[in-house]
Structure 1
């Protein structure tokens, strides 16, 4: 094991132990879990933030370490997926009963462009809005957009920008949202299904705080519904993106773009 890998494992171990020692922090009705603290600390330690100001820190967490950490994410998420799968089995009968609801929620992918495209155009994006607004922009969406337009294209820049924003900010935002959403009066299992639209880390953060807020009666079912929803978002969501959402986004963009930008729309 080379020095860069040792640095990554050492820093991750220190962050993880520190956050576990801090434990869950309750701010009124909002529960903040160690995972959220770990994400924030990890962001702060990157070369673009504290690494610029602390020279010795950059020697430990540099670009090579960042690359190794990025490659390790998929492996860790695989382990996370296996653990979450253990919640699905015992609750399989309840999940089967809710089957039509799981399938129906996938059509929510079509609603995203209705809001996202006008907002993106208003903020000054052009073709980038197609990549940014056609989906939830997770790993599968990167593949679809990258294959059709090229990851270095404006559309590729759009989907990559939303993907990075979701990875960096989404976990923290989802973790807080999971605690707050329970007080809307929406059924905990409906909220659990909504937890599954993001990446594995975003889903885990949201489901953990939601399960805590919902109480032991729904805790296991929350993780089961969130895990199943996340799996379906990755499988059926890709097909909806390719055959429905992305073509609709292209058409919608061409209709709206002349109202927001002066140059010719291709």
Structure 2
């Protein structure tokens, strides 16, 4: 007698994954020309869209096959599924080590670009969407796992800041892969940036977004797959290594300071309550 939640008990989930993967591969890579640019649609993108359609939280009719127990079991499996892809970075970063050295300080300084979330997102959150302290958690980073841990440790998950970071985390998980896949191929087709620069831009600290971005770039430059994957992987690794400290010691204090300036009355009330 098998235990509830075992691999065999999750046969619906495995069948759904197999069908989605086969259909996505059969559709193959498609290119949509947009003036001088083009959008490269990858099987990963189709798999994402098909998975959304069979999610019972999105399409109620899908609950006849995919139940809540399959949805709950699928979440931790994402980490397991992405491990082979992450392991591939180790085999490409080593042989491409000289190219990484040639990239110089660009890899190390890339973290400054992640602070753009504060510059662009914070004003929108405060004045356009009228958010309160949720804006702090939502805009101090790209809201990946390390950033989520910072907010949970500092404010707690049930705090307004925790709500803000969780919303962005969920939205990034749902739509980040789609956006990165389309945006990477579009920027590559414009010819403004070099393949190396775009590859380094793939590393924002998310395995799924990294896979979508580097996959699109590899499709645009078939002869540079190893270079793209190596630079993207190194960039992502550095984002995990340095991004935690930049978010904790730079981005979060800056957002807190900006919030006090934008909403001085609420900041004073919060200090009195504490």
How large is the Cα RMSD of the aligned pairs? Answer: 1.9
Give the secondary structure class of the aligned counterpart of 1:137. Answer: coil
Query: Runs of at least 4 residues of structure 1 off by over 4 A?
Result: 261-266
Are 1:137 and 1:162, in contact at CA under 8 Å, matched by a contact in 2? yes
- 1:34 is matched with 43
Q: In the alignment, what sits opposite 1:16? A: 21
Q: 1:141 aligns with which of 147, 156, 171?
A: 147
| Contact 1:134 1:241 survives alignment (8 Å) | yes
Cα 1:4/1:257, change in 2 over 3 Å: farther
Task: Specify whether residues 60 and 2 from structure 1 end up closer, same or farther in structure 2 by C-alpha distance, changes over 3 A only.
Answer: farther
Deviation (angstroms), 1:263? 9.6
Equivalent residue, structure 2, for 1:97: 102
Q: Secondary structure at the match of 2:263?
A: helix
Among residues 202, 206, 214, which one is paired with 1:199 in the alignment?
206
C-alpha distance in 1, partners of 2:65/2:164? 31
The answer for the alignment partner of 2:3 in structure 1 is none
Q: Does 1:164 align with 2:170?
A: yes
Q: Structure 2: how far apart are the matches of 1:239 and 1:99?
A: 20
Structure 1 gap ranges (5+): none
Change beyond 3 A, Cα 1:198–1:177: farther
Aligned equivalent of 2:247: 241
Instruction: Report the 3-state secondary structure (helix = DSSP H, G, I; strand = E; otherwise coil) of the residue aligned with 1:26.
Output: strand
Which range moved further: 94-103 or 188-197? 94-103
Give the TM-score taking structure 1 as reference length. 0.91
One of 219, 222, 235 as aligned partner of 1:229: 235
Structure 2: runs of 5 or more not aligned: 1-5
- Residue 182 of structure 2 is matched in structure 1 by 176
